[in-house]
């Protein structure tokens, strides 16, 4: 198939950009022709996508020449959405306005990356449960694995800060201080985060930081939480409610071998891509 993926931007290394890069890469590996479109694009991502075997184009180049559209963040490009192409709408968060579902008969499936998103799609938006499915984030297992891991005595917190992660980040930094670990934050902003010992910009080699940390903190069922798990690390999972408030904190040991196998099957980017495509046949 010729598949077009769409999101609000491909400029920096936030969760949405990583999601669509990994998904498109997996679709190419499965033999599909892929185009990625966004209103905001960077030279960095344009070259990165080209190297991975697909093209990143401006959103205004969208047309009805595709077999399928996989999209998020429709509000940022609604006027450019083709009118006659089937759509799979992928939702990454319960909280941000940008992540509202595209309510249209064109949508053949709504994908939530965690169960709480799926529940919101059904309960708050009234979407038919048969059109909603949970499929996890696509992750490159050649990067996130237990090979060559060490414990260099630091705690790692990764992600776009904003309101969603601010309170968890404060708690995580305090946890590290109490447990005599250096606290490290990696993210796309240049925020003043005095509660962390070290702050670094987003990097393509983020897996190296996961492989060498002692423990990692992340929001409930989020990408970085599972990336740490796939590297065999201890984790702290922060439960955030629909209002963005911190509800609960869960501390997890290193995953067992059986849990690792289950995680690898769930998050392998090619298997995730296959699951998403299969939803259009049901």
State whether residue 78 is helix, strand or coil.
Answer: helix
The per-residue pLDDT for 189 is 63
Neighbours of 184 (CB within 10 A): 22
Q: How many CA atoms lie within 13 A of 270 on its CB side?
A: 7
In this predicted model, what pLDDT tens digit does every residue of 62-117 receive, in sequence order?
Answer: 888 999 999 999 999 999 999 999 999 999 988 778 899 999 999 999 999 999 89
Separation of alpha carbons 84 and 258, rounded Å: 44
Output the average pLDDT for the chain.
Answer: 93
**pTM of structure:** 0.92
pLDDT exceeds 90 at position 140: yes
């Amino acid at each position: 198939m010729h598949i077009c993926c769409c999101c609000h931007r491909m400029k920096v290394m936030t969760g949405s950009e990583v999601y669509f890069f990994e998904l498109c890469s997996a679709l190419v590996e499965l033999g599909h022709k892929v185009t990625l479109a966004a209103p905001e694009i960077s030279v960095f991502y344009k070259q990165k996508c080209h190297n991975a075997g697909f093209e990143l184009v401006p959103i205004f180049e969208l047309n009805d020449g595709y077999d399928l559209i996989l999209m998020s963040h429709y509000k940022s490009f609604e006027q450019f959405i083709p009118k006659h192409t089937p759509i799979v709408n992928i939702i990454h968060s319960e909280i941000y306005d940008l992540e509202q579902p595209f309510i249209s008969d064109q949508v053949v499936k709504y994908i939530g990356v965690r169960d709480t998103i799926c529940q919101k799609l059904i309960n708050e938006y009234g979407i038919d449960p048969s059109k909603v499915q949970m499929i996890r984030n696509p992750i490159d297992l050649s990067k996130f694995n237990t090979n060559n891991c060490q414990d260099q005595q630091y705690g790692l917190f990764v992600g776009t800060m904003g309101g969603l992660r601010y309170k968890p980040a404060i708690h995580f930094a305090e946890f590290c201080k109490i447990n005599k670990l250096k606290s490290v934050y990696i993210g796309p902003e240049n925020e003043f985060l005095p509660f962390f010992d070290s702050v670094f910009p987003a990097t393509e080699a983020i897996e190296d930081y996961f492989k060498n940390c002692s423990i990692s903190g992340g929001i409930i069922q989020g990408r970085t939480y599972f990336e740490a798990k796939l590297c065999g690390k201890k984790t702290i999972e922060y439960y955030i409610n629909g209002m963005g408030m911190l509800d609960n904190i869960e501390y997890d040991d290193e995953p067992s071998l059986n849990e690792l196998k289950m995680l690898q099957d769930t998050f392998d980017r090619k298997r995730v891509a296959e699951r998403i495509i299969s939803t259009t046949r049901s």
